[in-house]
Amino acid sequence: MAEAATGQDADGVVLAMAGVVKHYPIKVGAFRSERLHAVDGVTLAVHRGETLGLVGESGCGKSTLGRLALRLEEPTSGSVRFRDFELTALPGGELRRLRPRLQMVFQDPLGSLNPRIKVWESVAEPLFLHGLAPRRELRSRVLELFTRVGLAEEHLERYPHELSGGQQQRVGIARALAPHPELVVLDEPTSALDVSVQAKLINLLSEIRAELDLTQLFISHDLSVIGYLSDRVAVMYLGEIVEIGPTEEIYRRPRHPYTGALMSAVPGDDLMDRRRRMMLPGEVPSPINPPSGCRLVKRCPFARERCQDERQQLRPAGPRHSVACWRAVEGEISPEDFERTRVALEA
């Protein structure tokens, strides 16, 4: 089809994931194995020019979902579409031709760079491999990218270990930008950096996004970073998306109890009193044997019998706002209930 060949879409959706599942086999004995439910039925869309923030505790499946979005890992089941291309069905050759449009910035900047070559060569590599620049222009193109991300010409000849953590991550960003991508997945790009370097990198990412009109999936456990950079926020818990909506709406009026607990930890005194925290009891269940109903049921102060067996699906809770909690959707709990719970717990 001509439409599929151009990769254009009609509604501005750049990335669409539907029912995406990723299970890993885990050996639990000499003759028995279990499945680790890393991602369990995630559906979401990222629109052209927006930054969708993906937030949740460590181990909830955020990074796995980011790799699935670019088909750096194969899903167990489900659909992953970039524009009109079904990534899960593309043969290797077609996927390679699409790679320049799909890029990733990794959490560990040093580990993502080849230690045996100079950093300018790492950035030039995708340009050369995909035939995006002649060999004689590679160095000048890389210098342009370095200038854009705040690196100097003197950094071109350095090896990765000769750069600071912030400089290494700037190289990673330059490499991701080199082939002029449409979609960039950023996996905890600031988590390995100290606070002052984080702030500079966050400002850089904000400037680049505005300048290049990038579409981004920004993964982080840092709520302040997500709140600053994202247009919408998706909250992930134990392999599932439990709430998704506009950033301001999620931060000011979270609807899911897990989101309410997360947002109570954000510094500041906006709508809620951030001096108190809504602490959920117990530990996160094992992803090898997650609850059959609501994933939060064993920790949620608002759980009812219905929550034990009924697996929750995202349902509308307002304009562009969905939540996977029947009590929130039906108006039985509200952000004010989260506030009262914090007060009760503190007392």
Distance, in Å, from the CA atom of 250 to the CA atom of 222, rounded to the nearest integer, reads 15
Flag whether 70 is in a domain.
no
Q: What is the mean pLDDT of the chain?
A: 89
In the block, residue with structure tokens 């759980």: 303
Q: Say if residue 91 is exposed, middle or buried (CB neighbours under 10 Å; 0-12, 13-18, 19+).
A: exposed
Flag whether 309 is in a domain.
yes
Flag whether 169 is in a domain.
no
pLDDT tens-digit series, residues 83-105: 999 999 999 999 999 999 999 99
Distance, in Å, from the CA atom of 173 to the CA atom of 185, rounded to the nearest integer, reads 11
- pLDDT level of residue 278 (50, 70, 90 thresholds): confident
Flag whether 221 is in a domain.
no
- pLDDT level of residue 192 (50, 70, 90 thresholds): confident
Domain hosting 345: range is 254-347
- Beta-bridge partner residues of 85: 82
pLDDT tens-digit series, residues 145-168: 999 999 999 999 999 999 999 999
- pLDDT level of residue 276 (50, 70, 90 thresholds): low
- pLDDT level of residue 197 (50, 70, 90 thresholds): confident
* Termini Cα distance of the chain: 64
Residue 114 backbone phi and psi in degrees, to 5: -70, 115
The amino acid occupying position 148 is: R
Residue 274 backbone phi and psi in degrees, to 5: -75, -5
For every residue of 219-269, DSSP letters joined together read EES-HHHHHHH-SEEEEEETTEEEEEEEHHHHHHS--SHHHHHHHTTSSS-
Flag whether 320 is in a domain.
yes
The domain tally of the chain equals: 1
Residue 237 backbone phi and psi in degrees, to 5: -140, 120
CB atoms within 10 A of CB 64: 22
Q: Which of 198-202, 255-259, 273-277, 292-296 has the lowest mean pLDDT?
A: 273-277
Q: What's the chain's Rg over C-alpha atoms?
A: 21
pLDDT for 116 equals 95
The amino acid occupying position 48 is: R
Q: Are 341 and 301 spatial neighbours (Cβ–Cβ below 8 Å)?
A: yes
Q: Are 307 and 330 spatial neighbours (Cβ–Cβ below 8 Å)?
A: no
Flag whether 213 is in a domain.
no
Q: At what angle do helices 165-177 and 138-148 cross, to 10 degrees?
A: 120
13: left (phi over 0), alpha (psi -120 to 50) or beta: beta
Q: Helix %, strand %, coil % for the chain, to 5?
A: 35, 20, 40
Distance, in Å, from the CA atom of 184 to the CA atom of 188, rounded to the nearest integer, reads 13
Flag whether 236 is in a domain.
no
Flag whether 285 is in a domain.
yes
pLDDT tens-digit series, residues 9-61: 446 999 999 999 999 999 877 778 899 999 999 999 999 999 999 999 989 99
Q: Where are the beta strands (DSSP E) in the chain?
A: 13-27, 33-47, 51-55, 77-82, 85-86, 102-105, 183-187, 215-220, 232-237, 240-246, 315-318, 321-323
Q: Which helix (H) or strand (E) holds 171?
A: helix 165-177
139-142 own/partner pairs: CB under 8 Å, 24+ apart: 141/178, 142/174, 142/178
